A and B are shown apart, each in its own frame.
Chain A
């Protein structure tokens, strides 16, 4: 079944003077995805998201939200945080949400109920009556998420939503995003520099660099690419002896220190049992032999090298 994608970007280019912030970008977020949008600082993530939401002009390219290229109307299905959410500082958190709700066409009892619902969702009910200007960074971030949820969007666009949150806050956002996706059926497009978070949370990932999409796929696909390098971490009672032994084995490359004091080796085609046999044969007392798992950080580093 070919469902209409939640977001479909085709051939998007945006320049700022000579700087090409986003270049010929194709990006598709399917309904149900939690899509991680990665890239180094200045890669063009925020620019791409702004253009996708109709905040800024596109030099070329088309954007469709749920198949609709009239973005004004289609935005009723979208909630978004772009960079740091901004609020009217002289109004309470609640009043700020009321403003957003009115602009989404809500009114009366339904509006009040919706505000209560989203406040509850981000656990900000207690401070809702206080002036937004007095909120801490993390509270503003939560209020931003609450506002993005106003009106029950089907797609959430979150540009670095965990920026400035404490460890508990980050975890809460991660769990919130998960539960929004799982229980509320909301599609999520999230840009982040926290690769472990993205790896734990997202099913699809796209990596942007200098305005171009360098890699894209499911997390599993990206992690398995090039995974046959045969990188192994080895521990021994006498690490000196281990290093010396490794130097004498044909086709094994010493990559230096690995996790927990182990040695990182690339053994290419050599199977683990053969490596172990050789080491033991040279009198090394092997205490650990761990095939290194590639993580998203490794992929990110390779792709954006």
Chain B
């Protein structure tokens, strides 16, 4: 009951922040841009070359097309571009560490609600924002593609990918929020999570190299390759890339388990640290 009330308040607060609004608008506009650009190119080509210019038996302008099914994939790609992760990180830093520094967190803690609820509500608000950005940008891109160029073909994979991407970013938001709680500083949250991301990237690279180790004519080479093959799907980078598997129809269950595990661990650690924290 109270958790629902706190969440409602937290969602309202997050969505009224100028940073969250600007971020939302930016991502949605970015996603709407490709169909608009393609339409402009098509119309431009038509005017420039005239309607009768043919290429391989088709009017040239016909080659400029981005139907809904393709446009939604572009929305997914834009969504995955680091901009959204950066925004999530910034918001996670603001809604905990920022509020602790601004002392507004104290005013929430003074109310008759548990710290557990306060923190979960913040995570739910982030997830709500992620879902809003994701579905609105998907809708903008797919909708315009549909209106301008028709249905196209496959819809199912990208839509599954979209849902999986929201779940993946919810996990990322939990990690970012935990960093926000543990560091208690906006700057340190951003730096810390960026550092983790670099580590994750490095790990990806190292394991990728290790996968090639069997080419080395040495007994350890084969072993290293096997270890890398076995570990790869369990790693955080695989977990965060899970949505691609959904999009293409082949996802690894190991990544899903890692993602759930990371999300739960991050939330438990964050709540535990918050409960012991001085909120002056």
Give the B-binding residues of A (Cβ under 8 A).
50, 53-57, 72-76, 78, 80, 82-88, 90-91, 95, 98-100, 102-105, 107, 147
Contacts and interface: CB of A to CB of B under 8 A. Distances in A.
A90 B17 CA distance: 7
Which 3 residue pairs are nearest across A and B when measured between Cβ atoms? Answer: A103-B111, A86-B103, A76-B112
Interface in B106-136: 106-114
B280 A50 contact: yes
B2 interface: yes
B108 A87 contact: no
Contact of A75 (B104, B106, B112): B112
B111 A100 contact: yes
A86 B106 contact: yes
B112 A90 contact: no
B6 interface: yes
B110 A53 contact: yes
B279 A103 contact: no
Which among A50, A102, A105 has the highest number of chain B CB atoms within 10 Å?
A102
Contact of B279 (A55, A72, A78, A91): A55
B102 interface: yes
Nearest to B9: A102
B280 A55 contact: yes
A277 to B, nearest CB: 61
Nearest to A150: B111
B153 interface: no
Interface string B256-279: 000000000000000000001011
Nearest to A53: B110
A87 B104 contact: yes
Interface of B: 1-2, 5-6, 8-9, 12-13, 16-18, 102-104, 106-114, 276, 278-280
Nearest to B115: A72
Contacts, number: 72
A99 B121 CA distance: 13
Contacts of B107: 85-87, 100, 147
A74 B276 CA distance: 19
B112 A72 contact: yes
Given A86-B103, A88-B104, A95-B16, A55 B110 contact: yes
A68 to B, nearest CB: 11
8 contacts: A56-B280, A80-B110, A82-B110, A85-B107, A86-B103, A88-B104, A99-B9, A147-B107
A53 B279 CA distance: 11
A88 B2 CA distance: 21
A104 B13 CA distance: 16
Given A85-B107, A90-B18, A147-B107, 17 more contacts: A55-B278, A56-B279, A57-B278, A72-B113, A75-B111, A78-B110, A83-B103, A87-B104, A90-B16, A95-B16, A99-B12, A102-B9, A103-B9, A104-B111, A105-B1, A105-B5, A107-B5
A270 B106 CA distance: 57
Nearest to A57: B278
Nearest to B105: A86
Given A103-B113, A105-B2, A86 B104 contact: yes
A102 B106 contact: no
A93 to B, nearest CB: 13
Which among A50, A88, A103, A147 has the highest number of chain B CB atoms within 10 Å?
A103
Contacts of B2: 105
Contacts of A102: 5-6, 8-9
Which among B8, B17, B106 has the highest number of chain A CB atoms within 10 Å?
B106
Contact of B13 (A54, A57, A74, A91): A91
Contacts of A73: 112
A53 B106 CA distance: 11
B9 A104 contact: no
Which among B16, B102, B104, B112 has the highest number of chain A CB atoms within 10 Å?
B112
A50 B107 CA distance: 12
Nearest to A89: B102
B279 to A, nearest CB: 5
Given A99-B9, A100-B111, A55 B276 contact: no
B23 to A, nearest CB: 15
Contacts of B103: 83-84, 86
Nearest to B8: A102
B110 A105 contact: no
A12 to B, nearest CB: 15
A82 B6 contact: no
A103 B5 CA distance: 6
A100 B17 CA distance: 17
Given A55-B278, A86-B104, A86-B106, A104 B16 contact: no
Which among B1, B109, B110 has the highest number of chain A CB atoms within 10 Å?
B110
B16 A91 contact: yes
